[in-house]
Amino acid sequence: MTTFLPKEVAEGLESARKHSLRKKSRLRICVGSETLTVLKYWGHGFSIDLDDAPQLRGLVDLYDGGKHLYQCLIVASEEDAGEMKYEFKRNTRAEDQAPLDFEQASDAPVALIGRN
């Protein structure tokens, strides 16, 4: 029994695998006006399809659907199985409000009640 597959069949299987990963993934990275689908994500990096992957380096934004998760400083790491892997140099969580520059008292009023 042989494990040899014709070139067309191997390419078809690889294409189907990438298509399946793209459909499952909600993660996207935004570089300027370009948006790319993240195929795999781990704690210190991510990978995108080699065919779609420009040689990225620098600041990118990582989104889960429409939610902005991180602002990342990245560097290309390696090519592996048709995917380009990138590693984080810096990975900063995106916040929806600015941090407070003062201590907020625990018994501070939540709102003001006006007089009628």
Q: List pLDDT tens digits, range 59-100.
A: 889 998 888 888 889 988 888 877 888 999 988 888 877 777
Residue 1, pLDDT > 60, answer no
Q: Where are the beta strands (DSSP E) in 7-97?
A: 27-31, 34-42, 45-49, 57-64, 67-80, 83-93
**pLDDT at res. 81:** 77
pTM over 0.75? The answer is no
Domain layout of the chain by residue ranges = 24-93
Element (H, E) at 8: helix 7-24
Burial of 72 (0-12, 13-18, 19+ CB in 10 A): buried
The region of weakest confidence among 10-24, 25-39, 57-71, 92-106 is 10-24
d(CA 81, CA 67): 29
Q: What architecture is domain 24-93?
A: Beta Barrel (2.40)
